[in-house]
Chain A
Amino acid sequence: MAPPAPPTGLRAVCLVVALICLVSPAGAQLIPIKTIPIAQGDQFQIFPANNLGMGSASIALADSLADPFANPAMGTRLTGSRFFGSPTLYSVSRNAGGGRSLPFAVLARRAAWYGGLALALQQVDPSRPPQPDGLFGIGVAVPNAVPPVAVDPSPIPGPDLRAHGNGYAFAMVGRDLPGTRTSIAASALWTGLHALDGVDLLYAGSQRVAQNGHALDLRLGAVTAWPGERGDRTLEALVLHNDFAATHTVTYADTYWDPGVEAFRQRARIEHNVDQTQTWGLHFKYTVPFTAAGWRIGWIGTLNRSSHPKIPNYELGNVPAIPRDPGYTTAFDFGIGVSKARGLATFGADLIYEPIRSYTWADASEPMSTASGDTLAVGAKTIENHFHFSNAVLRLGAGRDIELPGGGKLFGLQLGLMLRSVHYNLSQQDNVQDLQRRLTTGWMEWTPTWGLSLRFPEFEIRYAGRATHGAGRPQATFSPVTWAGRDVALAGGTILAAPNGPLNLTNVNTTTHQISLSLPLR
Chain B
Amino acid sequence: MTRHVRTLCILAVLGLAACDDPNPIEGVPESLDAQLRRQFTQWNIVPIGQSPVQDPAMVALGRALMFDKILSGDRDISCATCHDPAQHLGDGLALAVGTGGSGSGPARTLGAGRAFVPRNAPTLLNSSIGMPYIFWDGRLTRFGPPPPPPNVLLPATTSLLAAQAMLPVLNRREMRGEKGDVDVFGNPNELAQLDDTQATAIWQGVMQRLVAVPGYVTLFRAAFPSIPASSLRFQDMATAISAFQTDALMKTGSPFDRYLARDNNALSVEAKRGGVLFFGEARCSQCHNGPFLGGQDFANSGVPQIGPGVGQAAPLDKGRGELLDFQFYQFAFRVPPLRNVELTAPYFHNGSLATLEAVVKHYNDVTTSLRTFDPSTLPASLRDSYHGDAATINAVLASLDGRLQAPLHLTDAQIADLVAFLKSLTDPAARDLTAITPASVPSGLPVR
Residues of A at under 8 Å CB distance from B? 1-5, 9, 11-16, 36-37, 254-260, 262-265, 267, 317-323, 345, 347, 364-366, 368-371, 383, 396-398, 400, 413, 415-417, 419, 426, 428, 430, 432-433, 437-446, 448, 469-471, 480, 482, 484, 499-502, 507
Contacts and interface: CB of A to CB of B under 8 A. Distances in A.
A4 B35 CA distance: 22
Given A321-B264, A444-B22, 5 more contacts: A2-B27, A12-B27, A317-B38, A321-B31, A369-B269
Interface residues of B, number: 51
29 contacts: A1-B26, A9-B21, A15-B27, A37-B25, A254-B46, A256-B46, A256-B47, A259-B51, A260-B50, A319-B37, A321-B37, A365-B265, A369-B268, A370-B269, A400-B1, A415-B9, A417-B8, A432-B269, A433-B269, A437-B28, A439-B28, A443-B22, A444-B19, A444-B23, A446-B15, A448-B12, A448-B15, A499-B34, A500-B34
B141 to A, nearest CB: 12
Most buried by A among B16, B23, B32, B48: B23
Contacts of B270: 371
Contacts of A371: 269-270
Contacts of B128: 259
Contacts of B35: 484, 501
Contacts of A365: 265
Interface of B: 1, 4-5, 8-9, 11-12, 15-16, 19-35, 37-38, 41-42, 46-52, 128-130, 142, 246, 250, 262, 264-265, 268-270, 291-292
B42 A480 contact: yes
Contacts of B20: 469, 507
Contacts of A322: 31, 33-34, 264
Contacts of B292: 257
Contacts of B1: 345, 347, 398, 400
Given A36-B25, A257-B47, A259-B128, A368 B9 contact: no
Contacts of B5: 398, 400, 413, 415
A267 B250 CA distance: 20
A368 B270 CA distance: 12
Contacts of A263: 130
Contacts of A470: 19, 22
A16 B22 contact: no
Given A415-B8, A443-B25, A470-B19, A482 B41 contact: yes
A263 B1 CA distance: 71
The majority secondary structure among interface residues of chain B is loop
A320 B28 contact: no
B47 A5 contact: no
Contacts of B48: 256-257, 259
B171 to A, nearest CB: 26
A256 B49 contact: yes
Nearest to B5: A398
Nearest to A439: B28
A441 B9 contact: no
A264 B132 CA distance: 13
B265 A471 contact: no
Contacts of B16: 448, 469
A138 B49 CA distance: 39
Contacts of A398: 1, 4-5, 8
A1 B26 CA distance: 5
A397 B8 contact: yes
Contacts of A323: 264
Contacts of B30: 14, 321, 484, 500-502
B337 to A, nearest CB: 11
A370 B32 CA distance: 13
Nearest to B159: A262
B415 to A, nearest CB: 17
A241 B20 CA distance: 37
Nearest to B52: A260
Given A256-B47, A366-B265, A446-B19, A441 B26 contact: yes
Most buried by A among B24, B41, B264: B24
Nearest to A372: B269
A415 B12 contact: yes
Most buried by B among A2, A254, A369, A501: A501
Contact of B52 (A14, A259, A426, A438): A259
B49 A260 contact: yes
